[in-house]
A and B are shown apart, each in its own frame.
Chain A
Amino acid sequence: DADVTQTPRNRITKTGKRIMLECSQTKGHDRMYWYRQDPGLGLRLIYYSFDVKDINKGEISDGYSVSRQAQAKFSLSLESAIPNQTALYFCATSDTLMGAWNEQFFGPGTRLTVL
């Protein structure tokens, strides 16, 4: 079984709709992240969370919100989707106990299309 799972894997929606993307992990990691990937732009950080009560904005948080329901779950919401939010979204986790040089582990991604 995958350590970091994302649902749904694909979603097509219309402008103005509210969308939630979910991420779950079984790695026992305390840190979780949401990125979006756009062609030619690499990955950009949307939000990150160090634990349930510690949530922080990344470089492109406008138009997004998050919820850390439990240590293992981190959801990303688009309150009113717009076409330029069409992208591939990745959740990632890492472990504080691994030290400052800890790697991040990525989920398989959610492809979101906003029409």
Chain B
Amino acid sequence: GDSVTQMEGPVTLSEEAFLTINCTYTATGYPSLFWYVQYPGEGLQLLLKATKADDKGSNKGFEATYRKETTSFHLEKGSVQVSDSAVYFCALKLNTRDDKIIFGKGTRLHILP
């Protein structure tokens, strides 16, 4: 079945470090791919998305490229800040009537000052 696998956390980095959070997916058809972020005590917010192969989503210094050949959508940021501490969810959505989004289990990120 359709699924999303992302690296387990927590991930702890120092401020200004380079960040990669791996995400791979299994899907029939051609999904859209998303990264959502959840700050403490809040709901999920869309961070970035890509709707077709080779698209790059970017926002707030974060980037992810839709790689169809490796079925991956890894999240990267060149220099993280303490304010980036949150839980990050990779997700996919198929172009089907049920409009369902399938989420990964989430990766908690801690940034140390």
Q: Give me the interface of A with B, judged by CB distance under 8 Å.
A: 4, 31, 40-45, 48, 50, 56, 58, 90, 92, 94, 100-101, 103-109
Task: Count A-B pairs with CB separation below 8 Å.
Answer: 50
Chain B residues near A44: list those with CB within 8 A.
103
Say whether A106 contacts B105, CB under 8 Å: no
**B45 CB-CB contact with A under 8 Å:** yes
CB distance from B93 to the nearest CB of A (A): 7
The residue that B49 contacts in the complex, of A40, A101, A106, with Cβ under 8 A, is A101
Say whether A43 contacts B32, CB under 8 Å: no
Say whether A48 contacts B105, CB under 8 Å: no
The residue that A103 contacts in the complex, of B42, B46, B98, B104, with Cβ under 8 A, is B46
- Which residues of B53-106 are within 8 A (CB) of A? 89, 93, 95, 98-101, 103-106
Say whether A42 contacts B103, CB under 8 Å: yes
CB nearest to A103 among chain B residues: B46
Chain B residues near A100: list those with CB within 8 A.
32, 95
The residue that A104 contacts in the complex, of B101, B104, B106, with Cβ under 8 A, is B101
CB distance from A58 to the nearest CB of B (A): 7
CB nearest to B89 among chain A residues: A42
CB nearest to B8 among chain A residues: A40
Say whether A106 contacts B45, CB under 8 Å: yes
Say whether A42 contacts B105, CB under 8 Å: yes
Report the bound CA distance from A4 to B45 in whole Å. Answer: 12
Say whether A101 contacts B100, CB under 8 Å: no
Say whether B98 contacts A56, CB under 8 Å: yes
CB distance from B20 to the nearest CB of A (A): 19
CB distance from A94 to the nearest CB of B (A): 7
